[in-house]
Amino acid sequence: MPFKTSVLFCVLYFFTETWSIGLDKDQIRKLVALPNDEGTFRSIVIITYLLEVGYTGDLKQFEKGDDEKLEKKQSLPFCSSKEKEFVVNIKTMPDFLILLADNNKNTDCWKNEGFTTYEVKLFVRMFIVQDKRGVHDGLLNGSEIIELFNNLRNQTDEHKQNVKNEFPDGEPINVLMYLAAILKHKSKLKHLNEAQINKCQALYKSTKKYLDNKKQKKLFKTLGMVPKKYNFLLDFEHVRSAALELQELLVFWSEQNEEYDRSAPLITQVRQYMWEFAIYDLNKDGLLDIYELEEARFHTPNSDMNTFFSDWSIMMCPAMFLKMKLALHPEYYADII
């Protein structure tokens, strides 16, 4: 079966209520290890990977191992209607990663170390911009690597140097190597206090379908993750409901925010608590109704949840859940350094 040497990603985003939490360490590791022929990944290899991670984007009718049927698959979401075969290669891998981050995979779990969708999009888009400044081949050389990592503004000098040290010989790197290096040296100091939770919750309104985009961009700018010339990359297209996206926002903020108030109580187990929230959220709408709240109350020993929520008719959003956990299990900055 002949394969193309390039691929047209005609549909990269799915405007559906899907639950996705980016890319985790194991998912990236598997991608790095995929066999390729001169930077090109055969379609059957990519589809097999999608099955292994439980990607839900229109592959449900195929069973793992049915190679003949898989190779005949023509309706993958990233295929052009004019192209009957596809190939993911080093040049198109960045778009493929954004596709993966934006869609649910059955192996996604809040407890897994990884990147939120926000981080995948921001880091990958920065890579694409840097790549297009030179030869747009999906690879960055030594000087391009240094320039790119220097533009990651909210990373400490030690962190950036550790990432650069992953590529001492200056050999060209692809987007997978770049993401794996950033994740390897990602800060382990993660936290949210009540003021920071409130900042995230301010973007959420139960009457709105999506998070407030203008407030979100303004909030992201305060992180100082990128120089002003990259601020346009902080515009994120919303593909999930406001409540579902708030979960990712809280995790993202806990892992990228560098502000500390030594006197304010905080929580460091944000991923753990979002995993717990998702367990109670039986219908996966990003909110806990009265029945789901009763289950949460049953599993919250030695506490009276009525102290935190007097009106049980109100749907509990992820930010409210975190503030309850903060009240029950406060930590302090001095205890985590």
The continuous run of DSSP H or E covering 89 comes out as strand 88-89
Burial tier of 4 (Cβ tally within 10 Å: 0-12, 13-18, 19+): middle
Question: What was the pLDDT predicted at 312?
Answer: 55
Question: What was the pLDDT predicted at 304?
Answer: 58
Checking DSSP bridges between strand 88-89 and strand 40-41, what pairing results, if any? antiparallel
Burial tier of 220 (Cβ tally within 10 Å: 0-12, 13-18, 19+): buried
CB < 8 Å & 24+ apart, contacts of 92-96: 92/6, 92/7, 92/9, 92/138, 93/138, 93/174, 93/175, 93/176, 94/124, 94/125, 94/127, 94/128, 94/131, 94/138, 94/175, 95/9, 95/12, 96/9, 96/46
Report pTM.
Answer: 0.84
Q: What is the mean pLDDT of each run of 10 residues along the chain (337 residues)?
A: 30 40 93 89 86 71 39 43 60 92 90 94 95 93 88 77 83 93 87 95 92 94 90 90 95 91 90 94 91 76 60 80 89 67
Nearest one of 150, 114, 157 to 130, comparing CA atoms? 150
Question: What was the pLDDT predicted at 3?
Answer: 29
Question: What was the pLDDT predicted at 153?
Answer: 76
Single-letter code of the amino acid located at 54 = G
Q: How far apart are CA 151 and CA 18, in angstroms?
A: 32
Contact yes or no for 196/253 (Cβ under 8 A): yes
Q: How far apart are CA 333 and CA 259, in angstroms?
A: 11
